[in-house]
């Protein structure tokens, strides 16, 4: 099965599309699912695909793949590497690349559905197959739900997804019980001062100094105010002030990424960032800063512990004990979280994607790429073989024929 899907995968890899622009990708997936006999609704909520396969009475499983790629110029040197281009936010040309492996997820889902459609005696119930746009900007799941995913189609009893991992060897499936991936939020802070001549600082209020102190002070929200047993991150990824050496600017702009695993911690960080920003400005006699939390945030992905407890033994039987590994939670984020938030028991598994000996070699050279790297590529045949086996095992286990 994995081998026959390689041309399908390579075509997706060569033709990546950015978030909310997955027109070609969703069309190809919709057509392929139709061919397997599913009732396909496409396009749904922009560039989404929802396909239903009813196979007698029984429970309903949602199987989800994401569809989008990233603004990264591919450096893998693969014969089917992407040469597609786009223009980035700041006006420069950049490539488009499936650097997060969503092309693997699409192919894996298609392969699993094909097997399940061919072997209808092995399970009973309903599959709701979802091709979800815009995972990379954390919008796709919310868009699908707002468009009535759980009202216009059978509401699932379970939601399942796989995500490739670059630190797990191909052939393995990793699982986390409970909080698995962090909530991700972007916060921007405009630190306000009073501009003036660099040689006459006492007649200005210098926002560069206020913002610099703020960057350090923000870290005390992690090192001093957080319960040491909690996990969270604040990183200031962008710091912009001023135009010239002898001008004190009027304001500075900070862009932060904020990661957390619980609602309480997430709210504590929002409150703390605002408090620290205001305190630094007050201490300098500066105007109140503007603190904005972006609507692009994503809540934490929590794997249902009882569903994981049910699925791990099934996977151990289906794939062999050594293929299934407990895995640490990740500070990366996923909008798969929103299906679980609707009260559907949900589980996202990590799918090993780099062949063991290649991984060892890359690690030795200090060159093991993470996801979102221009050098990342999966050893796709082995990855798919494991992913398809795992996904069909899960469906057959949760929707038994008797
Ligand atoms: Zn990603
Ligand atoms: Zn991803």
Q: What is the pLDDT of residues 119-140, one digit of tens each?
A: 999 999 999 999 999 999 999 9
- Cα separation, 60 vs 38, in Å, equals 14
Nearest ligand atom owner, CA of 164 = 2
Ligand 2 mean position to 399 CA, how many Å? Answer: 27
CATH numeric code, 183-293: 3.30.70.360
Task: Measure 372 CA to ligand 1 centroid, in angstroms.
Answer: 6
Tens-place pLDDT, residues 151-186: 999 999 999 999 999 999 999 999 999 999 999 999
Q: How many angstroms separate the alpha carbon of residue 208 from the centre of ligand 2?
A: 36
Considering the entire predicted model, what is its pTM?
0.89
What's the CA-to-centroid distance between 101 and ligand 2, angstroms? 6
Average pLDDT, integer, range 317-338 = 95
Rounded to the nearest angstrom, the distance between the alpha carbon of 65 and the centre of ligand 1 is 12
CA of 172 to the centre of ligand 1 (A): 20
Q: Which of 3, 7, 16, 5 is nearest to 101 (CA)?
A: 16
Question: Is pLDDT of 296 > 90?
Answer: no
Give rounded-to-5 percent helix, strand, coil for the chain.
35, 30, 35
Instruction: Tell me if 209 sits within 8 A of 175, measured CB to CB.
Output: no
pLDDT at residue 363 greater than cutoff 90: yes
What's the pLDDT tens digit per position in 241-293? 999 999 999 999 999 999 999 989 999 999 999 999 999 999 999 999 999 99
Give the pLDDT confidence score for residue 386 in this predicted structure. Answer: 98
Of 72, 162, 96, whose CA–CA distance to 369 is shortest?
Answer: 72
Residue 393, φ and ψ in degrees, nearest 5: -60, -45
Query: Nearest Cα to 115, choosing from 36, 30, 218, 202?
Result: 36
For the chain, the domains span 3-181+300-398, 183-293
3-181+300-398 and 183-293 agree in CATH topology: no
User: In the predicted model, what is the mean pLDDT of residues 14-30?
Assistant: 97
Could you tell me which CATH class the domain 3-181+300-398 is placed in? alpha beta
Residue in the block written with tokens 């063991």? 356
Residue 90 scores a pLDDT above 90: no
Residues with CB under 5 A from ligand 1 (ion): 100
Q: Rounded mean pLDDT of 304-329?
A: 97
Distance CA 399, CA 61 (A): 8
pLDDT tens for each residue of 216-228? 999 999 999 999 9
- CA–centroid distance, 367 to ligand 1, in Å, is 19
Residue 100 Cα, ligand 2 centroid: separation in angstroms? 5
């Amino acid at each position: 099965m994995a081998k026959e899907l390689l041309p399908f995968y390579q075509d997706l890899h060569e033709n990546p599309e950015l978030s909310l622009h997955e027109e070609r990708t969703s069309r190809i997936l919709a057509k392929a699912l139709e061919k397997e006999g599913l009732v396909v609704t496409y396009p749904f909520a922009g560039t989404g695909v929802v396909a239903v396969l009813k196979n007698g009475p029984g429970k309903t499983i949602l199987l989800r793949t994401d569809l989008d790629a990233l603004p990264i110029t591919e450096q893998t040197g693969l014969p089917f590497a992407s040469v597609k281009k786009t223009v980035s936010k700041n006006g420069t040309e950049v490539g488009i690349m499936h650097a997060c492996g969503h092309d693997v997820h699409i192919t894996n889902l298609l392969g699993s559905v094909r097997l399940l459609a061919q072997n209808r005696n092995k399970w009973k119930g309903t599959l709701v197959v979802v091709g979800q746009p815009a995972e990379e900007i954390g919008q796709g799941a919310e868009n699908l739900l707002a468009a009535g995913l759980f009202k216009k189609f059978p509401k699932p009893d379970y939601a399942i997804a796989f995500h490739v991992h670059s630190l797990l060897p191909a052939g393995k499936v990793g699982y986390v019980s409970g909080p698995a991936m962090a909530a991700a939020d972007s916060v921007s802070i405009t630190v306000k001062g009073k501009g003036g001549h660099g040689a006459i600082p006492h007649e200005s209020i210098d926002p560069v100094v206020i913002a610099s102190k703020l960057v350090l002070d923000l870290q005390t929200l992690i090192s001093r105010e957080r319960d040491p047993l909690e996990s969270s991150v604040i990183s200031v990824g962008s710091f912009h002030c001023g135009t010239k050496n002898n001008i004190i600017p009027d304001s500075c702009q900070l862009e932060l990424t904020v990661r957390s695993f619980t609602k309480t911690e997430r709210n504590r960080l929002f409150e703390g960032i605002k408090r620290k920003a205001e305190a630094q400005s007050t201490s300098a006699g500066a105007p109140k800063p503007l603190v904005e939390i972006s609507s692009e945030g994503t809540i934490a992905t929590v794997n249902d512990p009882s569903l994981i407890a049910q699925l791990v033994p099934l996977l151990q039987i289906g794939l062999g004990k050594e293929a299934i590994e407990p895995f640490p939670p990740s500070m990366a984020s996923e909008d798969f979280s929103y299906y679980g938030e609707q009260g559907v028991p949900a589980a996202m598994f990590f799918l090993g994607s780099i062949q063991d000996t290649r991984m060892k070699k890359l690690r030795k050279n200090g060159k093991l790429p993470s996801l979102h790297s221009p050098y990342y590529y999966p050893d796709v045949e082995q990855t798919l073989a494991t992913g398809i086996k795992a996904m069909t095992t899960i469906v057959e286990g949760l929707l038994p024929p008797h």
